[in-house]
Amino acid sequence: MKFRVLGCSGGQLPGHNLSSFLIDDSLLIDAGSTTAVLTLAAQQKIRDILVTHIHLDHVMALGTLADNLYGKCKVPVNVWSADRIIDGLAKSFFNNQVWPDFTRITGPTQRVPVLRLLSLREGKATTVGSHSITAIRVGHVVPTVAFLVETKNSALLHVGDTGPTKNVWSFARKHGNLSALVIEASFPNRLQEVADVSGHLTPQTLLHELDKLSMKSPQILITHLKPEFRQEVIRELRRLKGHRLRVLRDGDVLQL
């Protein structure tokens, strides 16, 4: 599984791209910075998009991607998530007010809509292109899911944004063959109260979450660091013991 980091920051400043991850060139997880990073040719290879939740830093480029692909799609690009997240995209994003409804618009050069919104049943594996996808609810301030992405030879658990949570860890223990786990650490420990209120993790609460795995830890890939606190969070992460941690950077390409 080829895992490319288009953006992995919990905020936007020059040199810090918003959350977006590309798997095997065709499967996108979140779309915070997709169109700011990928060439148009690379954008045209995207066939499916998984959305963890509807916060703007994770979906902003869905709008610009649809705009770029209009007139170039013979079949729609599938946008997948749990019911409440798909409903949120329809009502709050593609509503012809915040952004044109590219799930409906067609024309002489675009015979089918650019995007198709599709629901995933939580906890049930669904074939999406050449991958098996399972959505699992996590604890954020809006409806949010993690994704288990499986191929024949590897399995990635993309937790993304979450505060302290439970179900995803019991699910992970049933899939002991994980190649890697992507999870956030947004704020430094001194801002624990802010992290708690906003449904995010600090290094100290991240450690509590990882200890819930109760199994041999896969490679832990850390994302969503707030740019202004990045170095402080990294210093605190380096003090954590018992897990193989790697802080992701924009542009990273990993083989999982």
Task: Tell me the CATH number at 24.
Answer: 3.60.15.10
Name the one residue in this structure whose structure tokens are 């998984």: 50
The model's pLDDT over 19-76, given as tens digits with 9 standing for 90+, comes to 999 999 999 999 999 999 999 999 999 999 999 999 999 999 999 999 999 999 999 9
Contact (CB, 8 A) for 189 and 202:
yes
Look at residue 214 in the predicted model and tell me its pLDDT. Answer: 80
Model pTM above 0.95: yes
Using CB atoms within 10 A of its CB, is residue 240 exposed (0-12), middle (13-18) or buried (19+)?
A: middle
Predicted confidence (pLDDT) per residue in 105-135, tens digit: 999 999 999 999 999 999 999 999 999 999 9
How far is the CA of 4 from the CAs of 16, 105, 132, 191, in angstroms? Answer: 15, 30, 18, 30
Structural domains of the chain, count: 1
Token digits of residue 44: 């045209």
Q: Which structural domain, as residue segments, surrounds residue 145?
A: 2-255
**Residues 195-250: pLDDT tens digits?**
999 999 999 999 999 999 887 779 999 999 999 999 999 999 999 988 999 999 99
Count Cβ atoms within 10 A of the Cβ of residue 97 and give its class: 0-12 exposed, 13-18 middle, 19 or more buried.
exposed
- % of the chain residues with pLDDT over 90: 94
- Cα(132)–Cα(47) distance, rounded to whole angstroms? 14
Please check whether residue 7 is in contact with residue 35, taking contact to mean a CB–CB distance below 8 angstroms.
no
